[in-house]
Amino acid sequence: MKSFIQPGDALDLTAPYDVASGAGFLVGSIFAVATISAANGADIIGRTTGVYDLAKAAGAVTQGAKLYWDNTNKVLTTTASGNTLVGTAVRAAQSGDATARVRLGIVA
């Protein structure tokens, strides 16, 4: 097929701010998890599919909840307003937990 470029599960992007390996980041409306650390403006490869443990905001998360990226605080949240939908929680997390387990991509 002449139009196929790549599967799209890993994308070459430009770091929108300093990003640590394994951290989430948002480039426009593309959410990804960094495969390496990169400084603001540097080239970075971001994974756009899969299941990851990422930093979360305070508050409990129920299994199956929609998770959004709070780009100001660089954390997952269940608050939709002003945030970008990035995936679904695959297990519950308590309010005091530092991370939530999220499946990126398709959200029902």
Enumerate residues 6+ apart whose C-beta is below 8 A from 35: 10, 21, 44, 45, 46, 47
The total number of structural domains in the chain stands at 2
Strands 10-14 and 43-47: antiparallel
Q: Which domain holds residue 19?
A: 10-48
Tell me the pLDDT tens digit for each residue of 39-96: 999 999 999 999 999 999 999 999 999 999 999 999 999 999 999 999 999 999 999 9
Give the model's pLDDT for residue 4: 87
Position 1: which residue type? M
Domain identity same for 35 and 56: no
Quick one: 92 exposed, middle or buried, by C-beta within 10 A (0-12, 13-18, 19+)?
Answer: middle
Q: Which residues pair with 19 in a beta bridge?
A: 38
Domain identity same for 65 and 99: yes
Position 59: which residue type? G
